[in-house]
Amino acid sequence: MKETPSSHWAFLSQKIDRLRSSPKITIYIVRHGQTALNAANKMSGQKNVPLTLTGRLQSRHLSKLIPHDIDVVFTSTMRRAAETLSGLVPLNTRKDLSVYLDSRLSEKKWGDIEGRCIENAFSLTRKYPDFAPIGGESYRQVAFRVFNSSVDMVNYCKKNGKKNCLVITHAGPMRILLAAARRIEPYSEIFEQDVANCKLYEIDSHSLRLSGYWWR
């Protein structure tokens, strides 16, 4: 189906300048470790599922890649994000580290689609940013809450002199942030972003472009 004007992701580009900051803040974004639903290629949504053994091992390995100068962490309130942070030793043992929970970084709410095969769940969502399953959210709604959270993060860092921020989130919010950093406007292309479990990206708040990534 041909995309309509409303299915373009241009509003991300219109809002991206709100995240620019001076002095420079480096934002590291990572998706949580693997869950059983991830492994089964099913939609987790806001089901509060734990990490698998593989997911816990991923977070342990990620701890070796996380820069040592992280001074604040913003994380989703969901269990799988909290367990990922728990695996980031010695980062999570530092007494000087500020950690904030933010429900706006939680995964997209898929409603009655949660727990189903991912490809089936994406069939309409890939085409229409305003499509919301019964009891769920649209991608546009998720984008607005994620951007509001990001603006608050940057403002907090500026006010408190924080220079290196770690964000632990989920596939949906991460796709949105990566697409915005890459200036991707056709809505359907946000689903092409690589959001593998425990993949780490770095975004420079001056240029708001990806400046590197690490993978396990």
Which structural domain, as residue segments, surrounds residue 192? 9-161+170-207
Helix (H, G, I), strand (E, B), or coil: what is residue 8?
strand
The answer to whether residue 1 sits within a structural domain is no
Distance from the first to the final alpha carbon of the chain:
37
How many folded domains does the chain comprise? Answer: 1
The answer to whether residue 36 sits within a structural domain is yes
The answer to whether residue 216 sits within a structural domain is no
Provide CB contacts within 8 A for 62, sequence distance 6+: 30, 33, 84, 87, 88, 198, 200, 216
Q: Please state, in angstroms and rounded to a whole number, the distance separating the CA atoms of residues 56 and 216.
A: 13
> Looking at residue 105, which CATH number applies to its domain?
3.40.50.1240
Dihedral sign for Cα 27, 84, 139, 124, please: positive
Q: Please state, in angstroms and rounded to a whole number, the distance separating the CA atoms of residues 210 and 114.
A: 31
Q: What count of other Cβ atoms lies within 10 Å of the Cβ of residue 94?
A: 12
pLDDT score for 193: 86
Q: How many residues would you count in the chain?
A: 216
Three-state SS letters, 143-177: HHHHHHHHHHHHHHHHHHCCCEEEEEECHHHHHHH
The answer to whether residue 214 sits within a structural domain is no
The answer to whether residue 98 sits within a structural domain is yes
| Mean pLDDT per 10-residue section of the chain, whose length is 216 residues | 44 62 85 96 94 97 91 97 94 90 97 85 82 92 91 91 96 90 76 91 77 56
The answer to whether residue 3 sits within a structural domain is no
The answer to whether residue 199 sits within a structural domain is yes
The answer to whether residue 212 sits within a structural domain is no
Q: Which two tokens stand for residue 35?
A: 């869950």
pLDDT score for 216: 45
**In which element (H, E) is residue 65 found?**
none
Query: 165 forms bridges with which residues in the sheet?
Result: 27, 72
List phi, psi (to 5°) of 95: -75, -20
